[in-house]
Amino acid sequence: MSDAPRFAPGATVRVKDDWPERRGPCHIRTPHYIRGRTGTVVRPLGAFANPEDLAFARPAPKRTLYHVLFEQEPIWHEGRPGDTVMVEVFEHWLEPHPAAPGAAGIPEEA
C-alpha cells in the first residue's frame, strides 16, 4: 500500500454507499448522512491507523484521512444557499466520482 494520497485537493469523490453495520458489530467514523454523497477533497490530513480495526484490537493499517467538503442542501434541507459541511473521511471510504475526469474511463483534460 502506498503512503501517497490517492486523491488530490479539488478532486470530486463519492463516499461509498456501504452499510457494514448490517453485517455485524463494527466501529465506523464515516457518518451515515454522507454515504453515497458526492463531495470535493479539500486536503489530505495524513495517514493514521484505521480506527475501524483499532476498536476491535486488530492490526490497523494506516489509511489516508481527508477533509471532504459537501454541499449542505442535498444532505439537510435547512440552512442558507451555499452552506457546506466539511467531514473527515478515510480514503477507503472514497471513490472517484464517475463523472470526474480520469474516472470510469473519462479522459482527463490536457
70 contact partners, CB below 8 Å, separation of at least 6: 34, 37, 38, 39, 40, 84, 85, 86, 87
pLDDT digits (tens, 9 = 90+) for 20-34: 666 556 567 789 899
What's the mean per-residue pLDDT of the chain?
Answer: 83
Give the pLDDT score at 86.
97
Give the pLDDT score at 21.
62
> 104: pLDDT confidence band, cut at 50, 70 and 90?
very low
**CATH architecture label of 12-96:** Roll (2.30)
pTM here?
0.79
Give the pLDDT score at 102.
53
Does the pLDDT of residue 75 top 70, yes or no? yes
